[in-house]
Every structure is written in structure tokens, then in C-alpha cells.
Structure 1
Amino acid sequence: MLQNASIVVVDDEPDILSMVSDYLGRDGYHVSRCANGAELDRTLDKTSPDLVVLDVNLPDEDGISIARRLQATRRVPIVMLTALNDTIDRVVGLEVGADDYITKPFDLRELSARVRAVLRRAPGADGVPAAPREPRPEQKRPRNVACFGEAFLDFDARRLIDRNGVDLPITATEFAMLSTFAEHPNKVLTRDRLLGDAPEHGSGCCDRAIDIRVTRIRKRIEVNPTRPQVIRTVRSVGYVYVPPN
């Protein structure tokens, strides 16, 4: 169950670290606290968390670098904490694979809602098995799949795989977006619809977040991402998924 999920909170400000950890703990999560990337690495050597709440502005190694490293090795869902005016950090955070972000100062209830939404979309939620991390080229294509150009979305295992059965990197939010596309083929979906059950950020930020994720997905599924044929842009409206005939 989501309430029993394991969360690591990483922030170098003791007051924020304590406040966030205590609040999420009262929500029923098992929370570990880290002040920097080195402490996070030591924690990850001992446990495999279900989600990381990660501050961007950390000493030694910044949160963007840590997020990039985690997504390359663990693909753990990440909610990033960013400063109010650091739009670049929010954009880069999404580009390197963070699932969501929240700006400081923030309402703890909003942070909790974002954490809950990301966990609901994550592999392993509601008893669904998490995707294996090791490629398995010999695996036959699963039956419960949707074709997305050069890749297949496996609904049962919550994986995105190429035509050889090798896992492609995908965040929980990206999986949710592809699932929404698969449920509505050849229908134009607005950015608000693709946002799904994620908490609102404000329309401008939401649009940018969706566009970044679509760009990331296109790089994995399109033959030519600069001229997408699978997920097409409908100007001023949103996107449409065009399945194979």
C-alpha cells in the first residue's frame, strides 16, 4: 500500500529536512533523512526507496546531478524541491527524469499530494510488480502491450521495451502519459488531460512540463524524433497518438 512506501528526503536545510520528514512520517510513510548526496548514497546502499524527495540546491553535488545519476542506475521516482524563481532548475529536473517538482516555500499538504500522485503512478503501486532493471533481449513481446513506434508499452509489467525486448528508461509519470495515449488512440488530448491526476502547477508550468516529457518519450519511440509520427503535436491544443494501422 502507498501508506507503507519508503521515502528518502534529501535537503541540506535542517529545518526543512525535519519538517518534511516528520509530515510525511505522519502520513504513514517510512522516511529516511539525508543532508547531501553522500548521505543519500549510503542510504541507498542499505535500502531501495519507493520515492526520493530531492532538493536542487545541495552542497557538493547538486540535485540535478543526483537525479541524473539515479535515473541512470535506479529509475526511482523523484519529486524535486526548487527555489521559487529557478525555472531553469525545474525544466532541467524534468528533462533528467524527475517525476514532479514543487517550489519553495511550499504547503506540506501540496507536497504530500504530489508524493501520493507520483507513488500511484510508480511501478509496484497497488501490487503491480516493478519492472526488472536488467535488459532481457531474449524475452518475447508480451501480449498486453501497445505499440508506440519503435517501442512497446507493457501494461502488466509497467515497462517500455524496444523491439528486442530491452527495457527503455521511463519514469512513472511518462508511463502514465503513454497509458493515457494508448487508451485514446487517434484522439486529440489536451495538456490538462495528459497531466492526469498530478496536482496543478499553473497552466504555463504544466504546459512546459508536458512538452518536456513528450520530447523525452519521442526520443525513445520515434524513428525521427524531429519529425514525430507516433505522438503528433496539435498546435495550440495538445497531442494525438497515432497507432500503427
Structure 2
Amino acid sequence: MKNNKLKLLVVDDDSEIRHLLKQYLQKTEFQVSVVADGQEMFSILREESFDLIILDLMLPGEDGLSLLRRLRADSNTPVIMLTAMGEETDRILGLEMGADDYISKPFNPRELLARIKSVLRRASMSDDTSSNAKTIRAEFSNWVLNFQQRHLTSPEGVVIPLSDGEFQLLKVFIDNSGRTLSREQLLNLTQGRESDSFDRSIDVLVGCIRKRLDETPKNLKILHAVRSEGYLFSPLVKFY
């Protein structure tokens, strides 16, 4: 009988956390493998494919950020990072490197399960968008977002790859061009969850998109911050 369960890989050097997550997540709809470090992670990835990876930031030897950088060189597998509460800088770096979400330790397994489902749902929606021939690209201010290849093309013709988080957020802005969206709305539309007082992921991703668009604080022509309200994507958009 074929196993249709989605496959998760947990990478954490804490044996108690590995055991807890494997026991809990296997009781839901997932097939779960666990490893203790980056060497074991890449060893199992050479043999198997996974639908999502849960990656601890603090690992013996090569840390989670370095492993994420290596992984993103040739893989778009969704990644949720496990971080300590005070590691805000590393969380920001993780998002910039292409992590899809993060959750701080200690965490409630039910919250992690909700994050997993949200990330997998977004990945599935991205696949659906990529296969939809009716929506191929969006053009704005001489930039082009390709929905199938999930990259930007600059006015000079330079192709710029996007992380999943950057793609999802830019797509939401494009779909809501001319409308100011709050951080809470953006977080809900891109990640399917509510904001908390420590969550800066939207601001980080906005900064990443601005870098892609070559915008500086003194040269904001496309993506604007609206005081006390959120962000505004201002260009007219054409869909092809």
C-alpha cells in the first residue's frame, strides 16, 4: 500500500526535542525522520526527498544558517528554523537566506504544527500558481515577476532569483497594488498567522524586496512605508 503521508525532516542536536517532535508529528499526518547535525542531514538528503525541513539554528559543528545557505544553493525545500528567543539577528539572517518561517524555543508543538501546515499550504499554492498558464507574469515599473520561474527581471534584463518568502510577499503586494496593507494583514496573507510584538519577519522581507528592486530609503519609487499603517505598493501592474 502506497504511503501518501508528507515527509518531514527534523534536524536538532537535542535528543529530547527530536523524540518529542517525531512522536507528536507522526500522530498527525506526517512521516518524520530525525537527525542530529548537518552531516547527517545532507547524508539523508542524498538518499531521500522531503516536503519540509525543521532546522535548528544552534547545532554542533556547522550551524543552521550555514546549512541553510548550502541547502538553498540547489534546493527550494521549505525550511522552518528553530531559534532561541533572543536570536533576532540570526532569525533575520535566516529569512534573508531563504528560510520560510521560524519559531522560537521553547515552543508549543501545536504552534509548530500550525506553522508547518501554513508553510506547506503556501508551497502548494506556489506550485499551483506555477502550473497555471493563465497567470504567467506581472509587469510593473519596467520590472517583471515571472510566476512560473518565480524570479524577477530588472529593467536592464537581469534575472534575479527570489526566496519563497520574497516571492510570496511580492505577489501579495502586486495583487493589492495601490492599497496600503498593515503588517498584520501581510503576515496573514503570506504566512497564514497573526503577528506578535517580536515578529519582524515582514519588515525583514520588505527590506529584502527593496534590495532586489535596488531601492534605498532616499529612493523609494515602488514600495513605501505608510506611517502607523503599513506598506504601500504603488505601481500600476499589467498581467500577462
Shorter chain as denominator, the TM-score bin is: 0.7 to 0.9
Q: Does the CA contact (< 8 Å) of 2:184 and 2:195 recur in 1?
A: no
How far off its partner does 1:24 sit? 1.8
Q: Does the CA contact (< 8 Å) of 1:147 and 1:243 recur in 2?
A: no
Give CA deviations for 1:144-187 in whole Å, capped at 9, x if unaligned.
Answer: 322255643334x261232558461221x333222221221111
2:225 corresponds to 1:241:
no
Structure-1 separation of matches of 2:126 and 2:28: 17
Matches within 5 A, 1:1-245: 4-122=5-123, 124-125=124-125, 128=128, 144-149=136-141, 151-155=143-147, 157=148, 159-162=150-153, 164=157, 166=159, 168-171=161-164, 173-196=165-188, 197-202=191-196, 204-206=197-199, 208-220=200-212, 222-226=213-217, 227-244=219-236
Q: Structure 1 residues 127, 64: closer, same or farther in 2, change over 3 A? A: closer
SS in 2 for 1:27: coil
How far off its partner does 1:7 sit? 1.5
Structure-2 separation of matches of 1:40 and 1:94: 20
Structure-2 separation of matches of 1:39 and 1:184: 43
1:137 alignment partner in structure 2: none
SS in 1 for 2:32: strand
Give the TM-score of the pair, scaled to structure 2.
0.83
SS in 2 for 1:113: helix
SS in 2 for 1:228: coil
Q: Please list every run of 5 or more consecutive structure 2 residues that lacks an aligned counterpart in the other structure.
A: none
Q: Does the CA contact (< 8 Å) of 2:83 and 2:102 recur in 1?
A: yes
Q: Structure 1 residues 30, 70: closer, same or farther in 2, change over 3 A? A: same
How far off its partner does 1:35 sit? 0.6
How far off its partner does 1:64 sit? 1.2
Structure-1 separation of matches of 2:161 and 2:169: 15
How far off its partner does 1:201 sit? 4.9
Give CA deviations for 1:34-84 in whole Å, capped at 9, x if unaligned.
Answer: 110001111111223221100011000011111122223213221111112
Return the letter of the residue paired with 1:168: P
Give the TM-score of the pair, scaled to structure 1.
0.82
Q: Structure 1 residues 167, 49: closer, same or farther in 2, change over 3 A? A: farther
Q: Does the CA contact (< 8 Å) of 1:186 and 1:243 recur in 2?
A: yes
SS in 1 for 2:62: coil
Q: Structure 1 residues 52, 58: closer, same or farther in 2, change over 3 A? A: same
Give CA deviations for 1:88-125 in whole Å, capped at 9, x if unaligned.
Answer: 22222222221111111111000000011111111x45
Q: Structure 1 residues 38, 130: closer, same or farther in 2, change over 3 A? A: farther
State the number of aligned residues.
228
Q: Does the CA contact (< 8 Å) of 2:180 and 2:231 recur in 1?
A: yes
Q: Please list every run of 5 or more consecutive structure 1 residues that lacks an aligned counterpart in the other structure.
A: 132-141
Q: Does the CA contact (< 8 Å) of 2:153 and 2:159 recur in 1?
A: yes
Return the letter of the residue paired with 2:192: A
Q: Does the CA contact (< 8 Å) of 2:145 and 2:153 recur in 1?
A: no
Q: Does the CA contact (< 8 Å) of 1:194 and 1:210 recur in 2?
A: yes
How far off its partner does 1:244 sit? 4.0
